[in-house]
Amino acid sequence: MKPLLLLLAALGLLATQARAGVTKDTFGTTRDGASVERYTLKNQRGLVAKIITLGGIITELHVPDRAGQLADIALGFDTVAEYEEHNGTVYFGCITGRVANRIAGGKFELDGKSYTLDLHPKTSFHLHGGLKGFSKVIWKAEIITDPRGPALRLTYLSKDGDQGFPGNLTTAVTHVLTEDGALVIEYVATTDKATPVNLTNHTYFNLAGAGSGTVLDHRLTLHAQRYLETDADMVPTGKLLPVAGTAFDFTKGEVIGRRTAQIAIGGYDHAYVLADKPRPKPVLAAEVHEPKSGRLMRVLTNEPGVQLYTATYTTPLKGKRGTSYDRFHGFCLETQHHPDSVHHAAFPNTILRAGQTYRTTTVHQFTTR
């Protein structure tokens, strides 16, 4: 390479390194007058993740295609008001908890005591931690030093009785944008009284770019041999069914939209079994490839399950930067314990007790093919 080109390349690298790190600005104000901060994580390769303190929402995630062009692949909104209006239905990008997914009847028993939770509107189940669950509260943010790359830690104290759950639960969620092109999400929680805990992130991905249309042409490989049978409310019955020979089989890789017509609800909102119990460290659970851009996302987790959701219930919405979202315009791979585990003793345990520490990690690796 000629000296001038070498100099320009060096200057470009230095400029990228100078911009790498974490910056903070104000995203907006809630209807209650609380300030919502936005943190921008950028690594030395130029990948960008933007996270707000409302719900710990990932509002943007910019990753390169096979030509090196960045695109925002996370569905979301431009304003706090839009998140407040819609995040009780679509849950774009947020932390969900204390208990992600469904709890049948909004009730459970623990150590001989009955607990009553709120029901999701017009349903018979509790969903994603309640009407003011983790997706709707303001988290405390702290920029931290991590050898893997730019990092942000979010913390929240959910007090005893919050949304009907017992115990004071302290939760920390750390996001790391690694220098090798991954977004790592690490969850840690402790409690002073036994309580169910099942945390996940609810980002809707479109690897062609948020607002670019459906994800039905994305090819999904999902390393799960079984899925959970559900009732009409999509609440697990307790039976684990084999995926082999069904429209739920992605073990060898399949285009997401090829068999949606075979599903009773017209798309996917189903829990898959990755393992009989949590693993000691994250292992490959799924990979998704978008053929036109070449973007490839691999998902690694130590969780025993993952919920595949293809925006099956989404109705037309105004998205970021003048785009629009509709049914099948994104997919979620929500790593978690099985839904409604409090009612199924055979499912992996979701009860956290005083003196124990809840830990789980999910890694989203981005590359191209």
Give the model confidence (pLDDT) of 62-103 as tens digits.
999 999 999 999 999 999 999 999 988 999 999 999 999 999
pLDDT average, residue stretch 114-127: 95
Q: Is the dihedral of CA 197, 198, 199, 202 positive or negative?
A: negative
Question: What would the two tokens of residue 313 be?
Answer: 């219930």
Which residue shows structure tokens 């409310």?
233
What is the spatial distance between Cα 241 and Cα 265, in angstroms, rounded to a whole number? 17
Whole-number pLDDT of residue 19 = 76
What is the spatial distance between Cα 326 and Cα 127, in angstroms, rounded to a whole number? 22
CA separation (Å) from 3 to 7, 15, 16, 333? Answer: 6, 18, 20, 47
For the chain, domains (ranges, CATH) are 23-368 (2.70.98.10)
**Residue of 175, 329, 334, 364 marked active site:** 334
Q: Is the dihedral of CA 276, 365, 203, 324 positive or negative?
A: negative
Q: Over the chain, what is the mean pLDDT?
A: 95
Question: What would the two tokens of residue 183 be?
Answer: 């977004």
Burial class (CB in 10 A: 0-12, 13-18, 19+), 85: middle
Burial class (CB in 10 A: 0-12, 13-18, 19+), 54: buried
Within 10 angstroms of residue 321's Cβ, the number of other Cβ atoms is: 10
Edge-to-edge strands, sheet with 269-273: 236-242, 226-230, 269-273, 305-309, 332-336
pLDDT band, residue 194 (cuts 50/70/90): very high
Burial class (CB in 10 A: 0-12, 13-18, 19+), 224: buried
Burial 285-307 (b: 16+ CB within 10 A, else e): bbbbbbeebebbbbbbbbbbbbb
| CB contact at 8 A, 148 and 46 | no
- In the residue annotation, 120 being an active-site residue is answered as no
- In the residue annotation, 128 being an active-site residue is answered as no
pLDDT of residue 7 exceeding 60: no
**Residue of 202, 218, 289, 338 marked active site:** 202
Q: Give the bridge partners for 270, in sequence order.
A: 308
pTM: 0.94
Q: What percent of the chain has pLDDT over 90?
A: 94
What is the spatial distance between Cα 352 and Cα 135, in angstroms, rounded to a whole number? 20
